[in-house]
Amino acid sequence: MLSRARKLRPALALPVAATLLITIAAVPAAANAAGTTGDTSAADDRQYVALGDSYSSGVGAPPYTDGDCKQSAHSYAAQYARNNPRLSFGFSACSGATTDDVIAHQLGFLGPDTTLVTITVGGDNLGFTSTLETCITALHDSTCKDAIDKALAYIATTLPGKLKQVYGDVLAAAPNAKLIVLGYPQLLAPTFCFEAPLDANRRGWINHAAVKLNEAIGNTAKTYGAFAPVDALFDKHRVCDDDPWLNGITAIEDAFHPNLAGYTDGYLKALDAVFHPVTATH
């Protein structure tokens, strides 16, 4: 059960542009985050474990209960655990985590009692922070396009193998678990606004990269478990929409991550749509 988790390792600081403070991958990823959420006194032998990056740890919806990995009680994972109190909860998700980080540092909670695992991973493999920074600060559209093309090439050639490795390792460590892989939303509305000062070309390229990322994740995940897409739920709720479920760059370190509504009405709803344990108490 939860005692299987390893002790936290020292955080690895990753660089971030000081002027923008965009942190899709720019906070510690190597810590083996460990914690529980909610009252587990009534928990049975079934266990839910949340793995992955900032979109699972809850970046964008502070306050954070774990300073290194920026775990939030408002994350979809923590909310799901509270809604299903008979499932014990292992929270390993850590902001900035790549597929390699998950394999190296986040599998400590997993075991034969684990019945559900959720994960978001893959965005940080692309160097998405630096790509966004490039697209926001570049003088010429071509510079942004080059950065996006590099990310697309990684998605096409390298990412599927990385995803297969991490999904396979998760199920090897938790052979009785259902694996739910959640996707990512397109970030930007079609309209310009101060929260995302990007022209139409750059907004389109960034969103296209998210579409291709989700395709790679979804196509790979179906072999190992279930894919829970979130993008359609975020339609009309992207950065620059009237009712955004994502933070713009004016949110400083939470930029381009879901806010509370994004985690509750987007991610949690997507998870509930594909997994309904009999212990659910809504």
DSSP structure class, residue 238: S
Beta strand ranges found along 57-124 (DSSP E):
64-66, 71-72, 88-91, 114-120
The pair of three-digit structure tokens given for residue 212, joined into one six-digit string: 């291709």
Q: Exactly one of 74, 105, 237, 257 is catalytic; which is it?
A: 257
The reply to whether 54 belongs to the active site is yes
* C-beta of residue 60 within 8 angstroms of C-beta of residue 257: yes
Q: Which of 54, 57, 92, 95 is catalytic?
A: 54
C-alpha–C-alpha distance, residues 67 and 125, integer Å:
22
Handedness of CA 239, 241, 243, 249 (dihedral sign): positive
What single-letter amino acid sits at 145?
K
Amino acid at 79: Q
Task: Please state the length of the chain.
Answer: 282
Residue 128 structure tokens:
């998405």
Active-site amino acid positions = 54, 257
